Amino acid sequence: MPSDPSSAKRALRADLRERRKNVTVTEREKATAGITANLQHLVEQYSASSLSCYLSGSNEPNTRPFLNWAFAQGLRVLLPISREDGLLDWTVDDGESEAEGILGWPEAVGELLGPIAVNDVDLIIVPAAAVDPSGMRMGWGKGYFDKTLGSMEKCPPVYAVVFDGEVLDEVPRERHDEPVTGAVTPTRIIRFH
């Protein structure tokens, strides 16, 4: 792996993208069931009545059944909307509407609440390419969630959603990278120290 963190991240992301493309339908369905159950348990563990999450893309661990459950439970769920300036706006999930965001990822459609709306949630669920036992999260390279987490005065617990093989011994880190509290995988909930 290259010694430059930026190059190391690019190489690792390419490998992880390829691995995600090769997950079979059966493996993906099993992973979805595990992730959904573990996210539900996490919400109950933190007694969260409000949270932020994201709409998963086609090769990501599937958050949609969990979001459907959260909506049915009457939880307040904020979903991110990417902005050109690298920040995230938020909208309340209505369980229905989505469109392709500026980065080509699925995003919710709704009333924009602005970047600081996320300050009021009890739990934050974020996408990730990989995490390590120190709590370091590697995203997909745009820095939206790092900026959001880094700007929060009082950040609630933050959990990254990844497949089991994406909890690595170490991920490359740069100065702007923000750690997470833990990770949710298809088989476990991990809390980092």
Burial class (CB in 10 A: 0-12, 13-18, 19+), 16: buried
Q: Is the pLDDT of residue 2 over 60?
A: no
The confidence band for 1, taking pLDDT boundaries of 50, 70 and 90, is very low
Domain boundaries, the chain: 5-191
Q: In what order do the strands lie in the sheet with 158-161?
A: 88-92, 76-82, 50-52, 123-127, 158-161, 182-184, 189-191
Q: What is the pLDDT of residue 126?
A: 96
pTM (two decimals) = 0.92
Could you report the per-residue pLDDT of 128-165, keeping only the tens digit for each? Answer: 999 999 999 999 878 889 999 988 888 999 999 999 99
- C-alpha distances (whole Å) from 188 to each of 32, 36, 84, 104, 166 are 12, 11, 35, 30, 12
Q: What is the pLDDT of residue 40?
A: 98
Domain 5-191, CATH: 3.40.50.10420
